[in-house]
Structure 1
Amino acid sequence: MRLRVEPIDSFTGTFRVPASKPETQRAILASTLAEGRSRITNDLRCEETETMKRACRALGAEIVEHEGYLDITGTGGQFKDDGRTVIRSDGSGLVFRTMTALASVLPSPVVVTGDETLCKRVMSPLLDALRDLGADIESICREGNAPVVNWGGRLAGGVCRLPGDVSSQFITAILFAAPFAERPVEIEVAGRVHSMSYIEQTLHTLRQAGIDVTVSDDHRRYRVEPSLYRSQDVAVHEDYTSASYLLAAAALYPGRKVFTGVHGTSTQGESAIVPILERLGVRTAFDRGADTLTVDTPPDSMRGDFHIDATDCPNIVPTLAALGAYVDGTLRVTGARVTHFHKASRIEAMVGELSKAGVDIRPRYERGVCDGFEVRGRSTYPGGVEFSHWGDHRIFMSLFVAGLRMESANLYSGFEEVRLSFPAFFEEFAKADVVTSAVDGPDADPAPPGPRRAPAAVPVGGA
C-alpha cells in the first residue's frame, strides 16, 4: 500500500504541534523508577510512547491513562520479578537501550528484544560499557546486536567508556540505570559528543527526580551517585522534531501561519529549526502567554547560501534536506554523521530519494565519513515520483513535505508509520487542504509530470 499526495499551491492556517516524544518517554521512565505516584500532563500518545509504557509495566509500574495526563505508581527500584520477563522494544532504540541497562539490576534474567530494524542497529558500545560496570549480558543471535539476555543480579559501578558520535542513547541508558549501582558510576566519552541536547534532557529528568549526577563542562565525563528516584509531577512541552515538518511546509509558501501548543522554551536541540528558518528569511514570533508561534514567510525568503551545523539537532537533518530542495542558492549541512546509525542511514536516504525527483543534492564527507550534504535548490520539480521511506518514518514525513511544492502528485511508502511519533500528522496537513489517497497494486502510478491541477482525491485521513 502506498500513499498518493497531491501538490498544493499555498499553506496557511492554524496548526497544533504535538507533545514531545522524548520528554514523554523520559518522564514515564523516571516515574516508573520512583517510589510513589507521579502525574505526567500533556503526554504524547503514539506507538513509541506506548512501547515505553509496556516496558515499564513489565518492570512493575502501574500506569493509568486519563484525558490529558498519566498517573504512574512507580516501583521505587523494587522491580517485578517472575523469572520469565521478556521486554519487547519494537523499533524504539531508547526503550531497548534503557531496558537493557536497567535489566542489569533485576535479580532474574531478562530478555530484551525488538523488531527487525532494531536488531540491525549498533548496540555493542552499550553492551561493552555495561559489562565494564559489572553487568552480565549476552547477545542471543549476533554479538553486539539485539536481542540480548541480561542475566541480572547486580550493577557494580565503576568506570565505563562510550563513543560520542554513535548514539546519545547509550549515555542516557547508563545514566538512568546508574543510581541503582552498588557504587558510583562514571562515564567517559571519547571524541566529540553528538546529540548533546538529548543527554541534557536526560540530565534534567534525573535531577528533577532527585538523582545526584554531575557532568563536566564538555559533556565528556559523567558521575552518578547511588541514589533514589522521587515521584514528581511533570508537564511535557512541544516536540520540535514533529514541528519541523509543519514549520518547513510553512517556510515553503508565502503567508502567515499560526502554531499552537508551543511554549517557546525547550532543551531540545531540534528547536534550532526556528532560528534556522529565521536565517532563511522567515519571520517568527512566540507568544508565550498564549503558547503560540506565528510564522510569516515573505515572498523573497529562502534565498542565499547557508551552512548549518546539525551536531546537536540530528533528527531534523531529513527536514533540512526537504527545505534545501527549494533554497534559491545552496544549503550545506554538516555534523550529521550520527544519522547513519538511526533507523535508516538518513543522509543516504534523503540524497537518494530527492535525487529521483531531480534535486541537485550530494553527500559531503569528512575524513572518509558521510557527515552531511549540500543541496542547490530551485522553485519546483516535475514530481510524478515514487518515494521509498527506507523503513524510517522521519524519511517519509520529510519527503512528504518536499513533494508538496512539486508539479504533480507523488507516491510514498511507509505512510502508516507516522503512528510511531506523530499520529496526527495527516490531520494537521489536512488543515492546509493537503489531499491524499491510499493506492494499491502494481499498476498504481503517480500522475505524469505536467501542470499542477486541482486535487481530486479524498482529504488526508479520509476514507
Structure 2
Amino acid sequence: MKAIIAKSNIGGVITTPPSKSYTIRALLAAALASGQSRIFNPLVADDTEAAAEVLTQLGAGIKRQTDCWEVTGGNLAPPSSPHQKLNCRQSAATLRFLAPICAALQGTSCITFAPGLARRPMTPLFDIFQQLGVRSELTENSLNIHGTGGQFKSNEVSLPGNISSQFISGILMATPLASEGLTIHLTTPAESKNYLRMTIDCLQRFGINVEYDDNLEEFRVEHQAYQPTDYIVEGDWSSASYFLGMGALSGPVTVTGLNADSFQADRFMLNCLRRMGAEVIINGDSVTVNSSPLRKTDTGLNEAIDLLPSVACLAGVSAGESVITGLDRARLKESDRVTAVADNLKQMGIKVIEESDRLTITGGTPRGAVIDSFDDHRIAMAFAMLAAICGDTVIEGAECVNKTYPDFWEDFQKVGGKVSINE
C-alpha cells in the first residue's frame, strides 16, 4: 500500500492512541491473575491482538467490551496439542515477555513469530533459560520452551543491562511464578530504565511487590500471586511524537490523552522539541506545539531509542548540524532504523553522515521523494511529518502503521494532512 502525500497546511487536535507497551503488560498481568480484570482504553492494533491471541491459547478468557477488555486469568497452561502454536506475529514485546512466563508454566510451549523477528537478538533469552535450568530449542522462526512449573535450578539470574529492556521486563513478569522467588542482577548499568519502571508500575498495580535498588540494577521478587484489578491504559507518547513534531514544523497541533508524569521513555520528545526551539505548552492531559524555526541539537537517545525517526526528521529541517547518538539498538528494530532513516533523508535531499551508533544531520530543505518504510511503522509515520511540509512524496508499505497505530492516516487527515491511499 502506498500513501501519496501532498504539501499540507497542518494544524488541529488529535487524541493519541493508547499505549502499546502498557496494553501488552496489562494483558499479561491480567492473564496471570486469578479472577476478572478489566483493561480500560486498550490499544487495538496488530501487536496487542497478537498478545491477546496467545494468552487466550494459554487459557485466559478475553472478552472485548465497548470500553474495556475483560480478562479472566489464572491457571495458565501450554496448549494441550503440540500442533497448537503461540504466534507472536511481529510483536517483539509479546515474544520477549511471553517466553519467560512459558518457562515458569508446566509443560512445553511452542512460540512462533514472523521472519522479521528472527533476525532480532534472542541470546539473552537463552542465557536466562540456561541459568534457570530451562530447556529450549530454537528453529528458524519457532521456539520450544519446556516449562518447569516454577521449579528453577537457581533463584538468581544475572544479565547485562545494555540489552533490550524487554528481556529484563519479561523475566520480571515471570518471577512471581518462581517457587522460591527470584533475584535479578544486572552486570552493567541498565539502559531504557523508564521501560523497566513501566513494568514495575504495572506489576504493582496487579498486586506484585518488587524490591529494587535506586539504580535499577538489582531486583528481588518473592513467590506471590497476581491480583485482578481494573487498569486504565494511558495514552502513547511514541505515537504522539509524530503529531507533536508536525506541530513544530507547521502547527499548531494539540495532542490530548497524554500523561505528563508518565514513565514512558518517549515523553523525552518534549525535551527534544524544547532543545530545538519549539514552543511546547502543557495543559492537563494535552500538549500543544506551535511552529517555530528549529535549531540543531546534540541528543543521546539510548533511553528513548524509538524516537530516532521523529528526532532525525526534525533535525533534517533544523538550522545547523545535529548529532544523534546512542543508536546501536536502533539497528535491531523492525528495520535497521539507523540506515533506514539515513537513506530516506538522503532521498529527500538532506545531508546525512551515518556511523555505527550515530547520525550527523545537516538541516536543509527537504524535497518530495519515494520513501521506503522498510515495513517499519515508525519510519512511515516519521517521514509523513516531512512529507506534509514538502509534498510530492510517496511512502511505500504504508500499511505497516497497523502494527501500533491503525488510525494514523485518518488522524493525519484530521490535522490537515493531504494523503491518498493507493492499495
2:360 to 363, 374, 382: 374
**Paired position in structure 1 for 2:20:** 21
* SS of equivalent residue, structure 1 residue 401: helix
User: What CA RMSD, in Å, does the superposition of the two structures yield over aligned residues?
Assistant: 1.7
1:250 to 247, 251, 268: 247
Equivalent AA in structure 1 for residue 298 of structure 2: H
Q: Greater CA radius of gyration, 1 or 2?
A: 1
* SS of equivalent residue, structure 2 residue 86: strand
2:144 to 136, 146, 149: 149
**Paired position in structure 2 for 1:312:** 303
Confirm or deny: 8 A CA contact 1:81 1:106 kept in the other structure.
Answer: no
Q: 2:94 aligned with 1:95, yes or no? A: yes
1:388 to 366, 369, 372: 372
Confirm or deny: 8 A CA contact 2:348 2:366 kept in the other structure.
Answer: yes
Confirm or deny: 8 A CA contact 2:252 2:291 kept in the other structure.
Answer: yes
* SS of equivalent residue, structure 2 residue 297: strand
Q: 2:225 aligned with 1:233, yes or no? A: no
1:413 to 383, 389, 396: 396
* SS of equivalent residue, structure 1 residue 151: strand
Question: Which runs of structure 2 are paired with 1:205-224 in the superposition (5 Å)?
Answer: 205-224=202-221
Q: Which runs of 5+ in 2 are unaligned?
A: none
C-alpha distance in structure 2 between counterparts of 1:210 and 1:263, whole Å: 22
2:267 to 267, 271, 275: 271
**Paired position in structure 2 for 1:397:** 381
Q: 2:313 aligned with 1:322, yes or no? A: yes
Q: Deviations over 1:396-451 (max 9, x none)?
A: 11122222222x412222211111101110111101332223347xxxxxxxxxxx
Distance change in 2, residues 1:132/1:176 (3 Å): same
Moved more, 151-160 or 387-396: 151-160
**Paired position in structure 2 for 1:79:** 77
Write 1 or 2 for the structure with the bigger share of helix.
2
Higher relative contact order (CA 8 A, sep 6+): 2
**Paired position in structure 2 for 1:455:** none
C-alpha distance in structure 2 between counterparts of 1:121 and 1:231, whole Å: 33
Equivalent AA in structure 2 for residue 273 of structure 1: M
C-alpha distance in structure 2 between counterparts of 1:115 and 1:243, whole Å: 27
Question: Which runs of structure 2 are paired with 1:110-189 in the superposition (5 Å)?
Answer: 110-141=109-140, 146-155=141-150, 156=152, 157-189=154-186
Confirm or deny: 8 A CA contact 1:40 1:236 kept in the other structure.
Answer: yes
Q: Offset of 1:264 from its aligned partner?
A: 2.2
Confirm or deny: 8 A CA contact 2:159 2:186 kept in the other structure.
Answer: yes
Confirm or deny: 8 A CA contact 1:83 1:109 kept in the other structure.
Answer: no
Confirm or deny: 8 A CA contact 1:91 1:115 kept in the other structure.
Answer: yes
**Paired position in structure 1 for 2:104:** 105
Q: What count of residue pairs does the alignment treat as equivalent? A: 420
Equivalent AA in structure 2 for residue 354 of structure 1: L
Equivalent AA in structure 2 for residue 18 of structure 1: P
C-alpha distance in structure 1 between counterparts of 2:367 and 2:256, whole Å: 33
C-alpha distance in structure 1 between counterparts of 2:214 and 2:44, whole Å: 35
C-alpha distance in structure 2 between counterparts of 1:258 and 1:245, whole Å: 12
Q: Offset of 1:153 from its aligned partner?
A: 2.7
Distance change in 2, residues 1:400/1:138 (3 Å): same
Q: 2:344 aligned with 1:353, yes or no? A: yes
Identity rate, percent = 28
**Paired position in structure 1 for 2:69:** 70
Confirm or deny: 8 A CA contact 1:20 1:236 kept in the other structure.
Answer: yes
Q: Deviations over 1:130-177 (max 9, x none)?
A: 221121111124xxxx41101223341422222322311110111111
TM-score where L is the length of structure 2:
0.95
Q: Offset of 1:83 from its aligned partner?
A: 4.3
Equivalent AA in structure 2 for residue 418 of structure 1: V
Confirm or deny: 8 A CA contact 2:78 2:109 kept in the other structure.
Answer: no
Equivalent AA in structure 2 for residue 21 of structure 1: K
Q: 2:413 aligned with 1:427, yes or no? A: no
C-alpha distance in structure 2 between counterparts of 1:199 and 1:402, whole Å: 32
Q: Deviations over 1:281-302 (max 9, x none)?
A: 22222222xx32222233xx30
